[in-house]
Amino acid sequence: MTENDDDILHRPAADETHDDIYDEEGSIRHDFLTIVGAAIADRDVLFLRQNVAKLHESELGDLIEAIQPDQRLAMIRLLGDDFDMTALTEVDEAIRMQIVDQMPNAQIAAAIGELDSDDAVYILEDLDDEDREEILAQLPFTERVRLRRALDYPESSAGRRMQTEFVAVPPFWTVGQTIDYMRDEEDLPESFTQIFVIDPTFKLLGAVNLDAILRTKRAVKIETIMHETNHPIPAEMDQEEAAQLFEQYDLLSAAVVDENERLVGVLTIDDVVDVIQEEAEEDLLRLGGVGDEELSDSVVETSRSRVPWLAVNLFTAFVSASVISLFEATIEQVVALAILMPIVAGMGGNAGSQTMTVTVRALATRNLDIHNAFRVVRREAGVGLINGVVFGCTVGLVAGLWFQDYSIGGLITTAMLINMFAAAMAGITIPMILNRAGADPAVSSAVFVTAITDTTGFFSFLGLATWWFM
C-alpha cells in the first residue's frame, strides 16, 4: 500500500466534512481546503463526488474561489458530469472566465443544457461571440432560441436576468386541466409560485397564484380566478429598476413582457436579491473611484481600474495647492497656519463625504427626487451649520490654547464653519446635479466634492488670516 493510498483510506467520510464547511468567520475551513487539495492531487474522484459535488452551488462557488488557481480546473475535470455548472454564477467574473476559457465548448454546451435559462445566460454573456455561437449551435432548437432572445436584450436589463422557463395556460382551461398539465409536462421550471394566463398570441392576460389553484375545485375555469399581473416588467427595463419594483411591492416573481406585451419570461426573487447586492456593491466601489474591480483581478488590471480617477484627483489637488500658493507670504509669517490647514480641509472632506454617500444612495434607491429635494438640502444645510459650530469652536479653543493666540482660534473656528457648510452643500448638490445631467453620481461625485472642500477650506482659512494679520 502506498502513502497516497493510506491518505485516501483515512480521509474523512462525506458526513464528516459536508455538514459545515465554514468557520466562525464565514470563510471556508482551512482543514477542509487542505483535504480537498489533497484529494485533487491524489485524483480521488470518489471523495470529491461525496464531499464536493453535493455542496450547494453557493458553497461550491466559495470553494472554487478559495482553492488555488491550478486546482480549480483539475477539480472540475475530475468531477466531470457531477460538477454543478451553476456554481460558476457564484464566483468572480475573472475566475469564471479563467475556468470557462480552459473548458471545451462541447463540455460547456452539455452543462449549459442542464441549467436554468437565467444561469445559462449569465455564463454565456461573457464569452466571445465565436465561442458563444459554437456552444449555442450544440443546443436543442427551442433552448437555443430562448437563450438567443435573452442575450439580445441589453446588458443589465430585466430581459438578461429573466428565466425563460415558466408555466402559462389559456384562460378557458379549467383548474383540473391546469393541474394535470403541471403533473404531466416535463419541461417546466423546477420551482414557481405563479401560473400566467395568456391568449393565443402569448399576450399576457393575468396570473394565478398556486394557492388559488389548490383551493379551487377542478371544474372552475382559470379566467374566473385569475388576477391582473402584479406589475409586469418590460424586458428592456434596467435590472435595478426592476429590483426596486420587487422591493416596493413585495413581489416573489413578476412576468417579463416584450414591447407588444407578450410574455417572454419571469423574474424571480432569487435573481433580484443578486441584483440588489451587485448594484449596492457597484455603487460602493464607484464611490471610491474603483470601478468594476474584483478581488481575483491581477495587479495590472487592478491598477488600470484605479488610475483614471486618481489622475482626476491629482489635477484637483494641484488646484487646491494653487490656492495655498496665493497666500505664501501669510504662511511664512504665521507658521501656525501651515500646521492647522490640514485640519480645516480634512474635516470638510469628511463632512462632505458623509453627505455625498447618503445622497448617492438616496438617488440610487429613488428616495430623493424633485419633490423632497429642497427639504433635504435645507436639512443638510442645517446639519452643516451645527457641525461647523460644534467642531469649529472645539478646534478653535484647542488652537488658541496651543499657540497662545486666540485670534488664530477665532480664525479657524470661522473657517471650519464656512467649510463644513460648503461641504454639506457640495455633498448633496453635486450628486443631484450630476444625476440630473445623466452622469452616474456614484462615479463622479467624490472627486468634485473633495476638490470643493479642500479649495474652500484653504481659501477661507488663509484668506481670513491674510485679512487679519496682513
Q: What is the pLDDT of residues 175-188, one digit of tens each?
A: 999 999 999 988 88
- Superfamily in which the 299-469 domain is placed by CATH: SLC41 divalent cation transporters, integral membrane domain (1.10.357.20)
Task: Return the C-alpha cell found at 382.
Answer: 442645517
Using one digit for the tens of pLDDT, what is the confidence trace for 208-251?
999 999 999 999 999 999 988 778 999 999 998 899 889 888 88
Return the pLDDT at 3.
42
Residues forming a β-bridge with 227: 207
Going by DSSP bridges, is the β-strand pair 204-209/194-198 parallel, antiparallel, or unpaired? antiparallel
Return the pLDDT at 195.
94
Q: Check pLDDT > 70 for residue 4.
A: no
Return the pLDDT at 213.
93
Helix-helix angle 69-79:30-41, to 10 degrees: 60
CA dihedral 55, 56, 57, 61 (to 10 degrees): -60
For 343-363, letters b (16+ CB in 10 Å) and e give bbbebbbebbbbbbbbbbbbb
Going by DSSP bridges, is the β-strand pair 168-169/253-257 parallel, antiparallel, or unpaired? unpaired
Return the pLDDT at 288.
65
Using one digit for the tens of pLDDT, what is the confidence trace for 385-414?
999 999 999 999 998 898 888 888 899 999
> Reading across the β-sheet that carries 168-169, which strands appear in turn?
168-169, 194-198, 204-209
Using one digit for the tens of pLDDT, what is the confidence trace for 39-55?
999 999 999 999 999 99
Using one digit for the tens of pLDDT, what is the confidence trace for 138-155?
998 888 998 999 999 998
Q: Which CATH number fits domain 168-268: 1.10.287.70, 3.30.1360.200, 3.10.580.10, 3.30.479.30?
A: 3.10.580.10
SS3 440: coil
Q: Check pLDDT > 80 for residue 305.
A: no
What residues contact 353, with CB distance under 8 A and at least 6 apart? 427, 446, 449, 450
Residues 351, 420 contacting (CB under 8 angstroms): yes
What is this structure's pTM? 0.67
Residues 256, 273: Cα–Cα separation, whole Å: 17
Return the pLDDT at 134.
92
Q: Check pLDDT > 50 for residue 15.
A: no
Helix-helix angle 336-364:373-403, to 10 degrees: 160
Residues 193, 166: Cα–Cα separation, whole Å: 10
pLDDT band at 14 (very low <50, low <70, confident <90, very high): very low
Q: Check pLDDT > 90 for residue 442.
A: no
Domain ranges of the chain: 3-158, 168-268, 299-469
